[in-house]
Structure 1
Amino acid sequence: MTNHSPFIPKSSDSGTHYFQTYDESLALWPVPCKTFYVPTRFGQTHIIASGPKDAPPLVLLHGALFSSTMWHPNIADWSSKYRTYAIDIIGDKNKSIPADLCGTRTGYADWLLDVFENLGIEKSHIIGLSLGGLHTMNFILRASERVKSAVILSPAETFLPFHHDFYRYALRLAEPNGVDHFLKWMMTDRNALHPKFAKQFHAGVMWQNGTRNQKPNADGFPYVFTDDELQSVKVPILLLLGEHEVIYDPQSAFNRASALVPGIEAEIIKHAGHVLSMEQPEYVNERVLRFFSK
């Protein structure tokens, strides 16, 4: 495992603590990996690469505040078949270093195109969860020729607006016990995050950094795609939702996606909620590989 960081936070910056917790979470990664940065017009993007270098590429886009380390329960299976690139989304709490936060949907697609170019990826499978799922759909609609197929897990908005409870809990994250209340709401007693990962999540919430605090933008995220946009999708998509999803009604999201997105495969997974890749990793890992092998 290598880690070539061009940036070390000042000792007064809570990012120092966050970077330490990130490295502790990365120690959960069960397979060899290489970590590095690639330049983009919006800043330095941090990547965790695993799997055979000559295998087909698979890009992973994480959920908000979770970073690429969230894929530790999935990466062994996926990197056995693919060269995986877990990408820290620019502007979120992770190791990427934003210089000019794009903020718009077009800008985020351009950022990911820059990453593809610097990795030498012509066309890739993509998996995105929550915020990463929103990025995945956005990229599909703006650069479909670069996407072989995609798996979208519990996407943030995308098909439906957030339930008002999401904002109620999210806006209180930095309050005392706010993280515990948020995770309890999202996962109840089905699953507990690994203590090292939970520590990183908490550190990310508490890290106050203006370049990594995404603000709503009329031309940015969060965003619910229009009927016309969803009907224009040109790549194969697998949508996985948890039956205990709380950010919106999963059956309604399933219904809208199934009605509008051409050829989509959609499934609601039992005994899973929002972070289904961590709650039901064995099933999700196998289901993803089965979809990509078609």
Structure 2
Amino acid sequence: MTTVYRSAAGAEAVRRRYDVLLDRWPVPAEPRTLATRLGDTFAVVSGPVDAPPVVALQGSGGTAAHWLPDIATLAGRLRVHAVDAPGEPGRTVEARPPLGSPAYAEWLDDVLDALELPRAAFLGTSLGGWWALDFALRRPERVAALALVNPAGIGRRRVAPLLKFAAYSLFGDWGRRRSLAMVAKGSPADPERRELGEFTLATFEHFKPRLEAVPVVPVERLRELVMPVQAHFGAHDVLLDQRDAAAKLRQARPDADVRLAEDAGHFLPGWAAAVTEFLNGGRS
């Protein structure tokens, strides 16, 4: 059986720590296990039942717990379905179809059907942003609005940091901390985010990240996005050229709300209130 973990013991260690974080979810929430064609998918649902529905997708190595610093803001006015993606840590099936295939759009079709949502807004960060973007292009009729936070797949991927990460990986915990420090440069250092950083370090001790390159969406395809779009980019993202991404999205969709934070990196702070207002249709 293919697994995304280096060992069964490592998988259990990550899941135990994940469950501890889920127990600290700051607003009332319902855990859900959704049947999909790829396998069982885990989600945490919170926010007012009659609020606009939002499917939230985290990035590579992420879980629903990574929304903890922002879920109270989001779930104040949105019905948030925080979903663990397949092939990532958490409690969803470990399947990893090719990123360029239709498999992830089909999986999200099943997620929406299991949630009894004909249509929803999508919020994605990093690789989760690419999944949301891919679904919006393949299934525009099912995406009410699209909010992206430092998404992959628009700007150019930076190669030099990947070479550094590969070198650091030879040095165990020190190397993982060094890599995380590079990615987190410019992020706020509040206790909750530090705890998530420690969880990320513990996860990557046991988890095997994807090595497949994320397909880049050209400008002409971005023009096919028909729904309202808001996107937040960090100018100092060490993984992705987000200046390039912001320029491409502005060229493709001049009406989109594109924000480039000059002092921020990959872990972008301060976006949750703007995204909440945008996905709530500007209602107070």
2:186 is the alignment partner of 1:194: no
Q: Secondary structure at the match of 1:102?
A: coil
Query: Contact 1:173–1:205 at 8 Å: present in 2 too?
Result: no
12-21 vs 130-139, which deviates more? 12-21
- Out of 256, 272, 283, the position equivalent to 1:285 is 272
| CA RMSD in angstroms, aligned pairs only | 2.2
The correspondence of residues 192-271 of structure 1 with structure 2, limited to 5 A, is: 192=189, 194-208=193-207, 213-216=209-212, 222-261=214-253, 263-271=255-263
Residue 154 (structure 1) shift: 0.4
Which runs of no fewer than 5 residues in structure 1 stay unpaired?
1-8
Letter in 2 for 1:288: V
2:158 is the alignment partner of 1:152: no
The separation in 2 between residues aligned to 1:173 and 1:48, in whole angstroms, is: 32
- Out of 39, 47, 53, the position equivalent to 1:51 is 47
Q: Secondary structure at the match of 2:145?
A: strand
Query: Contact 2:84–2:90 at 8 Å: present in 1 too?
Result: yes
Query: Contact 1:33–1:49 at 8 Å: present in 2 too?
Result: yes
The correspondence of residues 1-294 of structure 1 with structure 2, limited to 5 A, is: 12-98=8-94, 100-105=95-100, 106-156=102-152, 158-171=153-166, 172-173=168-169, 175-176=171-172, 177-188=174-185, 190-192=187-189, 194-208=193-207, 213-216=209-212, 222-261=214-253, 263-276=255-268, 279-280=269-270, 284-292=271-279, 293-294=281-282
Query: Contact 2:105–2:135 at 8 Å: present in 1 too?
Result: yes
Residue 173 (structure 1) shift: 4.3
Q: Secondary structure at the match of 2:40?
A: strand
CA deviations 1:175-220 (Å, max 9, x no partner) are: 41222111211123643363432332123212256xxx5342xxxx
Query: Contact 2:99–2:214 at 8 Å: present in 1 too?
Result: no
CA deviations 1:57-96 (Å, max 9, x no partner) are: 1111011112111111111111111211000011112221
Q: In the comparison of the two structures, how many residue pairs are matched?
A: 271
The separation in 2 between residues aligned to 1:134 and 1:175, in whole angstroms, is: 30
TM-score, normalized by length of structure 2? 0.87
